[in-house]
Amino acid sequence: MPPDDRRRPSEELLLDRLRRISGSADPVPPEVTALAQGAFIHRSADTQMARLLEEESIGIRGGEALLLTFTGEGVSLNLADDEGSLIGHVSPPHARVELESPASSNTGIDVDEVGRFTLDDVTGPIRFHIHLEKQDVVTFWVTI
């Protein structure tokens, strides 16, 4: 590029043509775009990220189950995937929990008095928003 960081018209035409060719030959899949947009939705300075502490696959009768453990500021979330059903436990139990996926808007989750919940037919990339009394915590995206 020239020192003044301006492109010549011929460079702009070439870049525009390359964008069109790559966009038609190998377009970005819609789910990738949705995930990228979802990474920035509902983010604020007050939201903490819960990190994936543990991921393991365990053998169960008739197959395997995926176990995930997230931990963040004052909150933990344990998830077990059992053939499309997701069994979860959030601590502290009085938190409000929402499920987010690129395919739909946030879905509120009914959590019982000890923090347990079950979700049916959960597939694809998801993440959880956990609303505590004084802060919000969000998990990283995982694919179930």
Contact 114, 91 (CB under 8 A): no
Same-domain status, 125 and 70: yes
Predicted confidence (pLDDT) at residue 116 exceeds the cutoff of 70:
yes
Q: How many domains does the chain have?
A: 2
Predicted confidence (pLDDT) at residue 15 exceeds the cutoff of 70:
yes
Predicted confidence (pLDDT) at residue 122 exceeds the cutoff of 50:
yes
What's residue 110's pLDDT? 84
Its domain, for residue 14, covers 9-38
pTM, two decimals, is 0.62
- Say if 3 falls within a structural domain: no
Predicted confidence (pLDDT) at residue 1 exceeds the cutoff of 50:
no
Residue type present at position 58: I
Question: pLDDT band at residue 104, thresholds of 50, 70 and 90?
Answer: confident
Instruction: Please give the Cα distance from 114 to 107 (Å, whole number).
Output: 20
In this structure, what token pair is assigned to residue 62?
């008739």
Per-residue pLDDT averaged across 4-26, rounded?
Answer: 82
In this structure, what token pair is assigned to residue 93?
């139990």
- Say if 1 falls within a structural domain: no
For residue 66, what are the β-bridge partners?
A: 57, 81
What's residue 39's pLDDT? 62
